[in-house]
Amino acid sequence: MGVSTARAAKFLASLEERRKSLRDEVEEDVGPLRGLSLEERGKVLESVCRDAMAIIRARPDAETALAQRDPLPPESAALWQALVDRYRRHGRH
C-alpha cells in the first residue's frame, strides 16, 4: 500500500468513525422522543420554544433579533391563501 493510499484509507476510516458517532449522537437526542404522544411531543416543543426565547431575550439586541422576519417565498404565500380560501368555503371565518 502506497503512502497516499494508506493516508486515504486512514482518512476514510476516520470519516466512518465520525459518521457512526454522529449517528449515535442523533439517536441519543431523538431516541427518548420516540413513542411520545402528541400531547407529550407538544410539551417538549413548548419547552424548546420557551428555552429559545429565553436565549434570545438574554441577547443585548433581543428586540432587533425578534423583529427580524424572513419573507415568505411566493409559493408559500399562494399555498397559504389557497388554504385560507378552502377553510372559508367550508363556512368557517
| pLDDT for the residue 24 | 85
Cβ atoms of 11 and 3 within 8 Å: the answer is no
**What is the per-residue pLDDT for 56?**
96
Q: Both 62 and 79 in a single domain?
A: yes
What integer pLDDT is reported at residue 2 of this predicted model?
A: 65
3-state secondary structure of 49: helix
Range of the domain at 13: 1-34
d(CA 7, CA 33): 40
Counting as low any pLDDT under 70, the low residues of the chain are 1-3, 93
Q: Are residues 29 and 45 in the same domain?
A: no
Assign residue 42 a region (left: φ > 0; alpha: ψ between -120 and 50; beta: otherwise).
alpha
Same domain, 56 and 75: yes
Residue with the three cell numbers 411566493? 74
With b meaning 16 or more CB within 10 Å and e meaning fewer, what string describes 62-83? eeeeeeeeeeeeeeeeeeeeee
48-63 pLDDT, tens per residue? 999 999 999 999 999 9
Q: What pTM, to 2 d.p., does this model score? A: 0.50
Query: What does the pLDDT read at residue 91?
Result: 79
Residues 58 and 83 in one domain: yes
